[in-house]
Structure 1
Amino acid sequence: MHVGSLKAEYAVRPLGTDVDRPRFSWVAVAPGYGAVQTAYQLRVRAGETGSWDSGKVSSSQSFGIEYDGPALTPRTRYHWSVRLWDGSDQETEWASEEWFETGLLDEGFGSAQWIGGETSSAPLLRRAFSVDGSVRRARLYASGLGYADLRINGQPVTDAVLDPGFTDYGRTVLYVTHDVTELLRTGSNVVGAELGRGFFGMNTPNVWRWHQAPWTAEPRLIARLVIEYDDGRVAEVVSDPSWRITGGPTISDSLYTGETYDARRALPGWDAAGFDDSSWSTASVVEAPAGRLRAQEHEPIQIIETVDPVELDEVRPGVWIADFGRTTAGWVRLRVRASAGTTVSLTYGETVADGNVVAVNGHVEGDRIQRDEYIAAGSGVEEWEPRFSYKGFRHVQITGARADVQLRVVHSDVRSVTGFESSEPAYEQFEQAMRRTVLSNLHGIPTDTPFYEKNGWTGDAQVGAPTMLATLDLARFFTKWLGDIRDSQAESGQLPVIIPTNGWGFAELAPATEWPTVYPILLHEMHRTYGDERLLREHWDSLTRYLAWELDRVEDGLSVSVLGDWLPPGYSDGPAPEDRRLTGTAYLYRAVLVAAEIGDLLGKAHDYRKAAAELADGLNRTFLDRGLAVYRSADDPDYRQTSNAVPLAFGIVPEELAERVAANLAADVEARGFHLNTGCLGVGVLLPVLTAYGYGDAATKVALQRSYPSWGYWFDLGADTMWEMWEADSRSRNHYFQGTVVQWILENVAGLRNAGVGWERIVVRPDARGETASASIRTETIRGRVTVMWRRVSRVFSLEVHVPVGMTAVVHVPSESATDVAAVPQSLAGSATYEDGFTIYTVGAGIWNFTSRTA
């Protein structure tokens, strides 16, 4: 056995954490079969001084191990390592050391002050200082609101963009730690910042009233540069009135309207030593935002990829349209030669109509939407790209001058953890499209669309979270957003429908139970995926306050909701036709059951199971026709698949009626020619429910459908991402909440399901194999890599499963009988049971191979 993949707080070498008891994790790897970890030993040191040694701890735990030594000191790098013992009590070598570094902790920003000033454009701030010795280490701790482009001696201090992350600035403000040691030089130095507005200083009127948020103010900065010399001296440069300020060349910036940059106003060298800033003003000390300053722990937003257009056509004289061949989020980098004062306009959109890129947004005031403007300096070939806004688009319309453009793909730098392949091209296409769509909507928060709103709609994350967690490492990302949820909670306990919020979403489109119930359900998913108990403890009080608010408004066992199964086919205005109390009550039932599990785990008293039973009774009493075994409401124009699939998926249907309800669901799907009529709530549960009740072939036909409404219909129209609506004229073409079919593809086609806390137990059961000759999935879990690969040739079915140390797999091998299965290693012979067309084995760590004959 050996140990690797060492992480602290889910990160490799985190720089600047404010967590006072960081958690450690690792992955144990061993050849052969049945390897187990029986003990571990952790060592942590600061410099050459030991800080904590856990000693040998008898445990199979490999994640969530809390630091338990002396209190950590601010601005300190700690090195750590671990060794393990296996089932034979043989110890491994110590793992190669890793490190984490603390941020400011309780020390804070010292004498640094928030500074800014009145400028007519994006402010530039600078401060000259001297370095008079050999620098051992230098760190810049800074928060610029809404965004800060930080520089030292003319160089960027980071490759992060749109930084720091968006929060409820009245509760939390994030600062970022930067290692700037290599940017300093002996003698004169300069630290500088250009500030953008983001959601903090939004001044574009919009229906969500971001321009009227309680925190809305002009951009501002707080910074603390700490320089440690080899001789032991420590010097600091902090933000205060000694800084200088002026308006820069970025004339305007808005997340909704884009940016205007006047290159004639550029100040070359403003961020370097020797620049004459005598005409600049003295920076003013400004009011600090109300939120508490905390270290940014989640992944930064970054430029992930640079892509050339697949086409750049002059559609009419003086108008060019670039097509990048993909729908994404980010911006373009411009390269142009034009005379001074020429305005090059860049309009971004997902579609083209009548020879123009479509850039219309009825939620934002004015006719300027997603448009950047570059005013040339006339200095030859000029290059520029925006820094304080991102856009959702595939096409860019260029006017003013012929220019070259390159796509800059921009999103939170989260790690992909899953690879999927299949002989069915549509499944691969859907999985890749969903992945691109999700990534396009990760910008420090999970958004709904990068074009229209950029809002953190809770319902979207609610339905998308299982698929998102199955494909991406979102431990840090969702930990941050769960903090945003807690920050957004009203005194009453109510949660809004968008998070963060400025207050919008408590009355508008509310109550909408299916949306904010993401809170308990996401906590549960984080525990299931990462075994994260700390999150449960930290959020328990806020969670119970929220559920108390929800349960207090229940009437006759029902929860009122105004949103429901959003955007089913034929209802492009939004709400589904059925009584929304059905889905509202179902989601509250699921939420309180999840809370009951959390309460049991934490040892907290609760009566959530009683509340769940009352909700199930109210829902069934009101909406279940027991004679027909159908859920329906007086509002229904026809049979509603979501109304029946959701109660089945959540376990609300009385046991004696479940098979009949499922049969009626399958019959309706078939009667529609294997089409769905679900919106965002039903789409993710329809196919899993059909498959679970033995209608996998029907589920497969729905998944592979090519006519409206279906995913195939979108892709035959040229889609490369998931759309918001089933209709061909869908408003948004980069919207993941209708793309949760991918969860079914991974769990039922590939056949891999997480069935325990922190992937302690998996179920391998490819029970939706119709129309597919092979599928494989590879997933990096908190315990290590899991792989499932299967192939069918004629009646011979081959299955290979890789199980990491610390995990148990229940493997369902499709077969006509148990005697038709050959297994490697042969020690598995005779250890299986047979049920419903599957021979079932339970195995531990190792690579397991099975071959069988199937019908």
Structure 2
Amino acid sequence: MRYLTGLALSVCALGSTPTFAARSMTINNLRCENVPNPLGIAEQRPRLAWKLDSEARGAKQVAYRVLVASRPELLSNDEGDLWDSGQVQSGETTGIIYAGKPLFSGQRYHWKVRVVDAAGKVSESALAFWQMGLLAKSDWHGQWIGYVAPKAEANNIPTLEKASWIWYPEGDPTKDAPVATRWFRRNVTVPAGRAVQNATLRVAADNSAVIYINGKEIGRARDSWKSRKTYELKDALVPGDNVVAISVANEGTAPGPAGLAAQLDIKFAEEEPISIVTDAQWKAINEQGDGWQTSAFNDGDWVAAKSLVAVGEGPWGEIASGSIITAPPAPYLRHCFTIDGKIKRATAYICGLGLYEMSLNGRKVGDHVLDPAWTRYDRRSLYVAYDVTENLKNGRNAVGVVLGTGHYDDHVLAVWDFEKASWRDNPKLMLEMRVDYEDGRQQVISSNDSWKASTGPILFDSISGGERYDARLEMAGWDTANYNDSAWKNVELAEAVKGNLVAQIAPPIKHTQTIVPIKITEPKPGVFIFDMGQNFAGVPELHVSGPAGTKVTMRCAELLHDDGTLDASNIENFVKRRDTEQLFQNDSYILKGEGREVWSPRFTYHGLQYVEVTGFPGKPTLDNLRGLVQHSAFDAVGSFECSDEMLNRTQQNTLWAYISNFHGYPSDCPQREKNGWMGDAHLAAEMGLYNFDGAANYEKWLDDIHDEQKENGVLPGIVPTSGWGYSWGNGPAWDSAYPLIVWYLYQYRDDKRVLEKHYDRLKLYVDYVTTRSKDGIVGFGLNDWLAPKTKTPVEVTDTGYYYADTRIVAQIAEILGKSEDARRYSELAQSIKVAFNKEFYNAQTHLYSNGSLTAQSCALYQGLVPDENKSAVVEALVDEIKNQGYHMDVGILGAKYILNALAENGRADVAYQMLMVKTEPSYGNWIERGATTLWEEWNGNQSRNHIMFGDVSAWFYKYLAGIQAGSPGFKTIVLQPHVLGNLTSARASYNSVQGKIVSEWKVEGSQFNWNVTVPANTTATVMVPCNEGTAVTESGHPITETAGLRFLRWEKGYAVYAAEAGSYRFKCAVNGD
């Protein structure tokens, strides 16, 4: 397996000896608004924070003094001309609110902090800074500009005009077909000896369909009656007998319209084409038999389908069709300017929508890719600030910007309707460069109508579709001052964006590592498949030599067909209409023919493990392709490893899935959708915070949610959204991303600002859900998604999240001093708990609802089980787990609940057994099947890179290593490892906002060894696993002789100690759980 290079944190070896020398504390990791030395912040009262390091036991801060100055030399003289906090008697190191003089646009402010420890020793930090962004629209001096080359209109795509809507003959399916699934078949004969030139199947179904050709699934369609789905079948058909088989589910809670419309067109090299449409010649049934999808199946007992109405009639009306307007080539913009003095500092502020790449004097500025991050553009667009002091020179300079479409001008049509987004427009640019000279002058270079424009080698770009690049059209030196741009056009002035311009200060997307392929195959002549050995998000990088005009095409996917060819069916099944430009993850490069050429796409990213290369000049080797991993480049803050390789691989797979699904916002999958599904995001948020410093990224996404919330409180299922997801794909189990992630940021980082910022909107949401509740029970939206066998009523999981959200609002109200709100929402939460138990709890069986693993663990995890019932409910859950053979018969909600509920209630041993199962459904089965990321479904269908089952990684930290917060921000820590099953060791570190916490244990023979680090300025409750009365030593000494430790009690197989900051080495006799 591949490990994430550059993201692993080391922990101390078990044999290391702690240092007890008393030293002054060192201050590090100074941050402003959760970012070190940020450029472009908008907050007038920014949050400041730092960390402390000390090898002395009991090290703590008792006072601090923050100095903020306009010039760094003032700080050298201990002068804060903007703010001197004075010596504040406090141990706080996070959330220190700037309270000095007003801050101004574009200004840089320098700061440092001094702390005093308990012994009166003073320590001082190095200098840090933050720079304000452009705070008002009037601070921008430029104009929005762009350039649009003429667009070309593609040929009309064939329609379904010859087909009829059909259904199983029952009642009037145009009005009241039952909520059920029906099955349809049509035999098709391809005459022997005829060469199929192309074959296209178009399908429209109400509601969802699964399509098979000759027994093989080729795609799925949901609500395709709005805009049909298209499938290419040339390689799926065989000479002789074939069968098209389609299952269609009429979804909902009550009868309604249901139907299927389809048309298969087969064209031959010479002979007349064949066209098959849905009509009464299709067969239908209401209960399918095994093998119903195959041509050999005997459908003699099936009945003729009922022809309802012609396509275009009935309740479905016209199905979207017609021509596609292809995107124009990417615009290249340039401008020259003169620098005439010694520069003190130069800052460029740029917003290029949807994506941009900027260069100065022929060199790319910065190392970001896919900037800026996606937002609801008509409410908030992000600009990026760069320090470009070193990029400029005296004399004539040139700035160049290439614009990509991104999500701003999404022209590959999929079911999420982003082509209809209210913000959609042609790419555009706003740029302001401020040059401050040493002599006090300031020069402003901005985008305006004096800039020049052209098109270049990027012929087409799409965030989901890919990129087409013709290297013959490259313009050498186009972004330098000496380039002759006399043939270039004038730029076009563009309409200003409707929303606010806000600085992007969260860690940007970067290329973080390079993957070398492990294998090449040639399943068909001239078709080469590169196996990257790892599923990841990013782009392929082509290394090639050949004649000018040679076109090399790269298609990216996660799966292979049985014959070794690329299988992209699981990522293309949400495309609405498709021609050459409508394929997902398809890149092409046309050679210029000048030696070795290296190219990778610039304005797209893919999810992939396999790359199909066609058109390659000659036979490629492994040296001809690389994989560039791209994701939001947050720092790693955690590491976990244990003695079991399967659990280690699960941890690594979770990390890969997480970084694959964070590109400025948390997504579900990096290939098929790239959507910010709310449910996926909150289910993975805790594991994300344990492993990565993504707080600023989550804060950005919380702002996105705020932008999308309607005034009545309703939230969409995906964020950002074009407007899709307010009536499907949401509901409390998904919407709870908003309150939960706000709460997680507080719990993990002690961040009260995020509570203050979002409290009113969270209250609005809970009030909205209350209007949808009936006697305290809620039941709308999605439920335990993708449970493999046992389904849990949506009312159980929805009401569980309704209760959790209400409790969060009550707790936030208490923290913020809103006592009346705290009382009201606490009472509401209690009433929901009573209603939940009344509705779902069976006192005789101790089961909730239908007794599913999800229902039972939901009640426990969400805190809905009364104390007097807990032991019985846990026992009933464990019994059902055993009945299931310790398999994960849960969906994504249950996967979050069950491991935590078991461990929280003293049955971590059962959770461990579930994680050790290697048959389906289980995490171990994915490992057995070669997974390198987490999958969307336990059976491996659909996406092979989803993060929604990812909370297992957080469980490793919490329970195997035993690192948990005792209070917000890990100011106090609980260290309670679990020695389970055959595990002989586990080690983890977590670099919290207070400092690095380490828990590393190992069983050697009959002895348990445990190394612990409690960071400076914190305390911990340390729970050593051992039988009552067992002797415990620290660094070879009895606890009573050890500084920094105090015995508290014996508790359920643990000796419990209060520990001051410091490093400890515990030893005792083994006591496994």
- Could you say whether these structures have the same fold, taking a TM-score greater than 0.5 normalized by the shorter chain as the test? yes
Equivalent residues in 2 for 1:471-482 (5 A)? 471-482=691-702
Equivalent of residue 125 in structure 1, options 329, 333, 340? 333
Deviates more, 1:674-683 or 1:819-828: 819-828
Equivalent residues in 2 for 1:578-597 (5 A)? 578-597=792-811
**Percent of aligned pairs with the same amino acid:** 35
Aligned to 2:41: 17
State the number of aligned residues. Answer: 842
Equivalent of residue 97 in structure 1, options 111, 114, 127? 127
Superposition CA RMSD, Å: 1.6
Q: Partner letter of residue 907 of structure 2?
A: Y
1:630 aligns with 2:847: yes
Provide the secondary structure at the position in 1 that maps to 2:659: helix
Change (3 A) 1:68 1:54: same
1:257 aligns with 2:473: no
Q: Partner letter of residue 805 of structure 2?
A: A
Equivalent residues in 2 for 1:753-764 (5 A)? 753-764=964-975
Provide the secondary structure at the position in 1 that maps to 2:630: strand
Measure how far apart 1:423 and its partner are.
1.1
Alpha-carbon separation, structure 1, partners of 2:630 and 2:403? 19
1:44 aligns with 2:68: yes
Aligned to 1:533: 752
Deviates more, 1:24-33 or 1:191-200: 24-33
1:62 aligns with 2:67: no
Aligned to 1:677: 889
Q: Partner letter of residue 657 of structure 1?
A: N
Q: Partner letter of residue 7 of structure 1?
A: R
Equivalent of residue 58 in structure 2, options 22, 34, 55? 34
Matched-pair contact (CA < 8 Å) for 1:818–1:833: no
Matched-pair contact (CA < 8 Å) for 1:751–1:767: yes
Q: Partner letter of residue 346 of structure 1?
A: M
Aligned to 1:363: 574
Aligned to 2:543: 335
Alpha-carbon separation, structure 2, partners of 1:197 and 1:549? 36
Matched-pair contact (CA < 8 Å) for 1:488–1:500: yes
Deviates more, 1:740-749 or 1:161-170: 740-749
Aligned to 2:1031: 820
Aligned to 1:386: 601
Matched-pair contact (CA < 8 Å) for 1:696–1:768: no
Alpha-carbon separation, structure 2, partners of 1:660 and 1:179? 62
Q: Partner letter of residue 930 of structure 2?
A: G
1:83 aligns with 2:294: no
Matched-pair contact (CA < 8 Å) for 1:256–1:364: no
1:498 aligns with 2:498: no
Provide the secondary structure at the position in 2 that maps to 1:550: helix
Equivalent of residue 832 in structure 2, options 615, 631, 635? 615
Equivalent residues in 2 for 1:94-493 (5 A)? 94-106=124-136, 108-119=138-149, 120-353=328-561, 354-360=563-569, 361-365=572-576, 366=578, 368-402=583-617, 404-493=624-713
TM-score (norm 2): 0.77
Aligned to 1:713: 925
Aligned to 1:573: none
1:562 aligns with 2:781: yes
Measure how far apart 1:830 and its partner are.
7.0
Alpha-carbon separation, structure 2, partners of 1:111 and 1:419? 46
Measure how far apart 1:431 and its partner are.
1.1
Alpha-carbon separation, structure 1, partners of 2:551 and 2:817? 64
Matched-pair contact (CA < 8 Å) for 1:585–1:619: yes
Structure 1 unmatched runs, 5+: 571-575, 634-638
Provide the secondary structure at the position in 2 that maps to 1:737: coil
1:516 aligns with 2:730: no
Matched-pair contact (CA < 8 Å) for 2:48–2:97: yes
Alpha-carbon separation, structure 2, partners of 1:632 and 1:508? 24
Provide the secondary structure at the position in 2 that maps to 1:481: helix
Change (3 A) 1:696 1:768: farther
Aligned to 2:874: 662
Q: Partner letter of residue 202 of structure 1?
A: D
Alpha-carbon separation, structure 1, partners of 2:876 and 2:446? 68
Provide the secondary structure at the position in 2 that maps to 1:844: strand
Q: Partner letter of residue 787 of structure 2?
A: P
Equivalent of residue 992 in structure 2, options 763, 781, 802? 781
Alpha-carbon separation, structure 1, partners of 2:736 and 2:899? 22
Alpha-carbon separation, structure 1, partners of 2:987 and 2:564? 43
Measure how far apart 1:128 and its partner are.
1.4
Matched-pair contact (CA < 8 Å) for 2:134–2:140: no
Measure how far apart 1:755 and its partner are.
2.5
Q: Partner letter of residue 845 of structure 1?
A: A
Matched-pair contact (CA < 8 Å) for 2:1049–2:1056: yes
Deviates more, 1:468-477 or 1:684-693: 684-693
Provide the secondary structure at the position in 2 that maps to 1:473: coil
Q: Partner letter of residue 359 of structure 1?
A: A
Provide the secondary structure at the position in 2 that maps to 1:261: strand
Measure how far apart 1:188 and its partner are.
1.8
Provide the secondary structure at the position in 1 that maps to 2:733: coil
Q: Partner letter of residue 704 of structure 1?
A: M
Matched-pair contact (CA < 8 Å) for 2:792–2:854: no
Q: Partner letter of residue 409 of structure 1?
A: V
Alpha-carbon separation, structure 2, partners of 1:11 and 1:434? 25
Alpha-carbon separation, structure 2, partners of 1:271 and 1:235? 20
Provide the secondary structure at the position in 2 that maps to 1:500: coil
Measure how far apart 1:76 and its partner are.
2.0
Matched-pair contact (CA < 8 Å) for 2:728–2:781: no
Measure how far apart 1:107 and its partner are.
6.5
Measure how far apart 1:718 and its partner are.
0.6
Aligned to 1:5: 29
Measure how far apart 1:195 and its partner are.
0.3
Measure how far apart 1:18 and its partner are.
1.9
Alpha-carbon separation, structure 2, partners of 1:123 and 1:652? 57
Alpha-carbon separation, structure 2, partners of 1:139 and 1:287? 25
Alpha-carbon separation, structure 2, partners of 1:747 and 1:461? 19
Higher Rg: 2
Measure how far apart 1:736 and its partner are.
1.4
Deviation track 1:219-278 (CA, whole Å, cap 9, x = no partner) reads 000001112223322221111111111222211111121111112222221111122222
Alpha-carbon separation, structure 2, partners of 1:381 and 1:695? 60
Measure how far apart 1:117 and its partner are.
2.6
Q: Partner letter of residue 766 of structure 1?
A: P
Aligned to 2:1005: 794
Matched-pair contact (CA < 8 Å) for 2:646–2:927: no
Alpha-carbon separation, structure 2, partners of 1:101 and 1:531? 24
Alpha-carbon separation, structure 2, partners of 1:186 and 1:838? 69
Aligned to 2:762: 543
Q: Partner letter of residue 31 of structure 1?
A: E
Alpha-carbon separation, structure 1, partners of 2:1046 and 2:332? 74
Alpha-carbon separation, structure 1, partners of 2:508 and 2:804? 33
Alpha-carbon separation, structure 2, partners of 1:854 and 1:326? 38
Alpha-carbon separation, structure 1, partners of 2:924 and 2:389? 53
Aligned to 1:803: 1014
Alpha-carbon separation, structure 2, partners of 1:646 and 1:276? 67
Deviates more, 1:771-780 or 1:732-741: 732-741
1:601 aligns with 2:601: no
Matched-pair contact (CA < 8 Å) for 1:20–1:105: no
Deviates more, 1:9-18 or 1:432-441: 9-18
Matched-pair contact (CA < 8 Å) for 1:81–1:96: yes
Equivalent of residue 748 in structure 1, options 947, 959, 984? 959
Q: Partner letter of residue 842 of structure 1?
A: A
Alpha-carbon separation, structure 2, partners of 1:385 and 1:54? 50
Q: Partner letter of residue 558 of structure 1?
A: I
